[in-house]
Amino acid sequence: MATYLLTWNPEDSSVEEVAAEWKRLRAGRKPRPADWSCGVNKSIQPGSRVFLHRQRREPRGLVAAGITVSGSYAGRHWDLEKRRQGKKAIYIDWIIDSAVPGFGDDDDATLEPFAAHLIPSGPIHDLVSWSNMQGSGTSVAPEAAAELERRWALHLGAAATGIDHSAPRSAKEGRIREHLAKSRYRESLLRKAKIARALAGSPDRKLRCEVPGCGFCFEEVYGDLGRRYAHVHHLEALSAAAGEVTTTLDDLAIVCANCHAMIHKGNECRPLAGLVRRRR
């Protein structure tokens, strides 16, 4: 997915709304979308990755990240004077999924931004113009975005939510053997993304088997050992594909180990519906 940088100048704007949604997420509740200016960028699509970059005043750096739930759209300008003049601004709606310690606090001393602009070398340094950023909505090259995700996760450490949105929502799979290692890596990322989406949509933040009539939950049976664990099943077997295919999260299902074994018993790929005949 595409990655963009949203800018925040604490001298002229507030993160109060976004910080409130971060508190909701930390409390185990689903955050709601917040709007944010994306400069003059009219091409941002839903499902894009965004990082919020605090600038102008120390401590500077990335303070939050999330996923867009809308494309770019025009609205009333956030600046009151420009609004009076009838001018518009471009916005996106996004949902926060991670933030640094101190985000939303009134005291800057508690804030611990990820100072990506100080990294001396590598794709983040070479491919992002931190010192010459034109405004919010700056696109990040894929190589820099991948490194940004890795370093962001390292910076957050224990503060992270455990939902890995660096994972893609689709990936190429089913390559011939010489590409097997790459295929396995992408499959692993898809598994994390599928589990993250299932958790976000679960009222009690638990994973349950999606086979009709099953509903097994590892966490309810095994406690913390089974927390956020499940099998992720391809609804269409990769072995049946003629070549490389694009797998989306809708092509996957959360299943328990027993159902997964029965689905594939005899090297078949049975549909989920009708698999469970009787519950004990």
Are both 154 and 179 inside the same structural domain?
no
**Burial (CB count <10 Å: 0-12, 13-18, 19+), residue 158:** exposed
First to last CA, the chain: 43
Are both 150 and 174 inside the same structural domain?
no
Give the Å distances, CA to CA, from 197 to 41, 90, 97, 132. 27, 28, 12, 35
pTM: 0.57
Are both 154 and 174 inside the same structural domain?
no
Are both 114 and 175 inside the same structural domain?
no
174 touches 243 (CB < 8 A): yes
Are both 200 and 241 inside the same structural domain?
yes
Range of the domain at 54: 3-159
252 touches 234 (CB < 8 A): yes
Which ranges in 43-107 belong to alpha helices (H)?
80-84
Are both 155 and 244 inside the same structural domain?
no
CATH of the domain at 102: 3.10.590
Give me the residue label for tokens 């109060």. Answer: 16
159 touches 62 (CB < 8 A): no
The per-residue pLDDT string of the chain (280 residues; one tens digit each, 9 = 90 and over) reads 799 999 999 988 889 999 999 998 888 888 899 999 998 999 999 999 999 999 988 999 999 999 999 999 998 887 778 888 888 899 999 999 999 999 988 888 899 999 999 999 999 999 998 887 778 999 999 999 999 999 998 888 744 444 444 455 566 676 654 434 344 444 677 888 889 999 988 888 999 999 999 999 999 999 989 998 999 999 988 777 777 788 889 999 999 999 999 998 888 899 999 999 865 4
Are both 53 and 13 inside the same structural domain?
yes
**Residue 216 resides in a domain:** yes
Overall number of domains in the chain: 2
